[in-house]
Amino acid sequence: MTRTGRWIGRHLVLFAGFLVLLYLFTPIFVVVLMSFNDPKSRLSYEFDGFTLRNWQDPCQPFGLCDAVSTSLRIGLLATVLATALGTLMAFAMVRHRYRGRAATSLFIFLPMASPEIVLGSSLLALFVSAGFGGVLGFWTILIAHVMFCLSFVVVTVKARLAGMDTRLEQAAMDLYANEWQTFWRITFPLVFPGILAAALLSFSLSFDDFIITNLNAGRTVTFPMYVWGSAQRDIPPQINVIGTAMFMLAVLLVLGGELARRRRSR
Amino acid sequence: MTALSQLGGPPAAVTEKPGRRFTAYLLLLPGGLWLALFFVVPLVSLLSASLYDPSGTVETGYAVTGHWQNYVDALQDYARPFGRSMWYALLTTAFCLLLGYPLAYAIAFKSGRWKNLMLALVIAPFFTSFLVRTLSWKLLLGDNGVVVDTLKWLHILGPDGRLLATTTAVVTGLTYNFLPFMVLPLYASLEKIDHRLIEAGGDLFAGPVTTFRTVTLPLSMPGVVAGTLLTFIPAAGDYINAELLGTPQQRMIGNDIQNLFAAGAHPTAAALSVTLMATIVVLVLFYVRRVGTEDLL
């Protein structure tokens, strides 16, 4: 192959990669654009004109902000619970040798490999057969969210723990730190970015979940359920405001984390 | 297992100390109990719900009668959406592989100092709501939208042609939604490849295509297997795309399971759900064995 051919070949992959990224981002551009939309009629879902009104009054559509607040509360609680339980499991799996380690891995992996509709419908079957069919709502959603976030937390924290240099802890012990001091001064700060990433992942999974939630929500309405409901009738532009705001928040968090990492490593 | 847990990096050295085994079980207990109670027990409930006598209702309760007929009825009535789900999931997986491989390859080998940024861009869509993004496809593919107008101008689409409410729209949405699940494991396994192996291919006078076919692709197989599984499984169970971008003609099995549960027809819905899970397990085992990587799961 000639040199020019190789040059094209090399950059062709990069070019294709950029096109795919563009495909991934097109809907996000639309979400941001639509958050400034001034629809002509309630049923219009096309860009009719520019306005800042949606951003000034995001709570205007009835029930939207209640749904967002329900999602935020469930997301925060589910994140705290799943991150705590999952981190403990990850420590056991990486740092301890016990009977059934392979079985534990499979057990953690299975919920991630099950379709959401199966996870959701089996939880519903359990709740109904246990007599909780009438009280579906906040707590049943929370139980479901902790369940499916747990595996993702374990996998994320495990990755961080497995990549850690254990000699740092041995050095601390050699310098007469006891196990407790070693854990809080060495191990925990080193694992913390992994735990934080797991918590972020949990929150976004929980905030975004629809299929499992929809089956176990009773009359409680989360943000995705609100969007689903409005998609059947009229789509208020304010849901795009919430979508854009969440996106900006996440971008800021990720950028902040990256900056902090760069400053520390300098 | 290795294929999917490879995102977790190599297993670390295990510091073993007498008496620590007890601690391990203690650490595993709370999370393990949660998963047992809300993942394993529910699957058993689902199985038993699928055998309920369908003459009961949610309010009056059901008789567990070993009603296998539920499965026969469910499969007779819902064979078409079931087959359609499998077909759409297969198409989605193929498209995700086709689009995801170049992107993962570009990030792993060609991105230089932009690597972290490009990875962040792959994950970024996760932070805007899944449903809101799918709705924006409805706008993009709409009858007077940019995509349809462009395709009409290029004469790829006839003057009456439309994209929304077609199979194309549903598969486009599914591919879009599950693409990151393909890219990330692919990237993880491509990134681990020793670059000298690829250079050796060049030194031995193999062209880029031969080198790719005989070195890079086989070495990235764990990523391909993990990625295809992580795309196929959720796509087969999804109903959001079919509902928002399609019509009842594009109905998938998830739509039916959801609608049946909402209508209170629990035994049929449960039977369909169990069938979906069983089909996926069988397909996955068959696939992993066929690809010749039995140690992957």
Amino acid at B267: P
How far apart, in whole angstroms, are the C-alpha atoms of residue B50 and residue B266?
Answer: 7
Residues in chain A, total: 266
How does residue B237 score in pLDDT terms, banded at 50, 70 and 90? very high
Sign of the torsion formed by the C-alpha atoms of B251, B255, B257 and B263: negative
Residues in chain B, total: 297
Tell me if residue B8 falls in helix, strand or coil.
Answer: helix
Residue B188 has pLDDT above 80, yes or no: yes
Q: List, for residues B134-151, the tens digit of each pLDDT value.
A: 988 888 888 777 787 778
Instruction: Mark which residues 68-127 of A lie under 8 Å from B by CB.
Output: 85-86, 88-89, 91-99, 102, 104-119, 121-126
Q: What is the pLDDT of residue B293?
A: 56
Q: What is the pLDDT of residue A130?
A: 87
Cβ separation B126–A204 shorter than 8 A: yes
How far apart, in whole angstroms, are the C-alpha atoms of residue B296 and residue B122?
Answer: 25
Residue B13 has pLDDT above 50, yes or no: no
* Residues from chain A contacting residue B201 (CB–CB below 8 Å): none
Q: What percent of chain A has pLDDT over 90?
A: 38
Residue B18 has pLDDT above 70, yes or no: no
Q: What is the pLDDT of residue B10?
A: 41
How does residue B297 score in pLDDT terms, banded at 50, 70 and 90? very low
Q: What is the pLDDT of residue B286?
A: 86
How does residue B153 score in pLDDT terms, banded at 50, 70 and 90? confident
- Closest CB to B1 among A98, A105, A116: A105
Cβ separation B45–A211 shorter than 8 A: no
Residue B81 has pLDDT above 90, yes or no: yes
Cβ neighbours around B216 below 10 Å, total: 18
Cβ neighbours around A61 below 10 Å, total: 18
Of A137-146, B49-58, B166-175, the range with the lowest mean pLDDT is B49-58
Mean pLDDT computed over B123-142: 86
Of B297 and B275, which is predicted with more confidence?
B275
Q: List, for residues B270-291, the tens digit of each pLDDT value.
A: 999 999 999 999 998 888 887 7
- The CATH code that applies to domain A62-236 is 1.10.3720.10
Q: What is the pLDDT of residue B6?
A: 41
Q: List, for residues A221-244, the tens digit of each pLDDT value.
A: 999 999 999 888 778 888 999 999
Q: List, for residues A190-210, the tens digit of each pLDDT value.
A: 899 899 989 988 998 999 999
Tell me if residue B184 falls in helix, strand or coil.
Answer: helix
Q: How far off is chain A from B275, nearest CA to CA, in Å?
A: 10
How does residue A9 score in pLDDT terms, banded at 50, 70 and 90? low
Residue B296 has pLDDT above 50, yes or no: no
Burial of B2 from C-beta contacts in 10 A (0-12 / 13-18 / 19+): middle
Domains in chain B: ranges and CATH: 52-296 (1.10.3720.10)
CB A153 within 8 A of CB A111: no
User: CB pairs below 8 Å between A and B: how many?
Assistant: 292
Q: The tokens of B54 are what?
A: 């369908």
Cβ separation B132–A31 shorter than 8 A: yes
Of B35 and A97, which is predicted with more confidence?
B35
Residue A8 has pLDDT above 80, yes or no: no
How far apart, in whole angstroms, are the C-alpha atoms of residue B253 and residue B272?
Answer: 8
Residue B184 has pLDDT above 50, yes or no: yes
Tell me if residue B259 falls in helix, strand or coil.
Answer: helix
- Closest CB to A1 among B49, B127, B208: B208
Q: List, for residues B191-226, the tens digit of each pLDDT value.
A: 888 888 888 887 887 777 888 888 888 888 889 998
Q: The tokens of A125 are what?
A: 């079957």
Rounded CA Rg of chain A? 23
CB A264 within 8 A of CB A189: no
Cβ separation B35–A150 shorter than 8 A: yes
How far apart, in whole angstroms, are the C-alpha atoms of residue A141 and residue A146?
Answer: 9
Instruction: Mark which residues 192-221 of A lie under 8 Å from B by CB.
Output: 204, 207-208, 210-211, 214-215
Which phi and psi angles does A181 have, rounded to 5°?
A: -60, -45
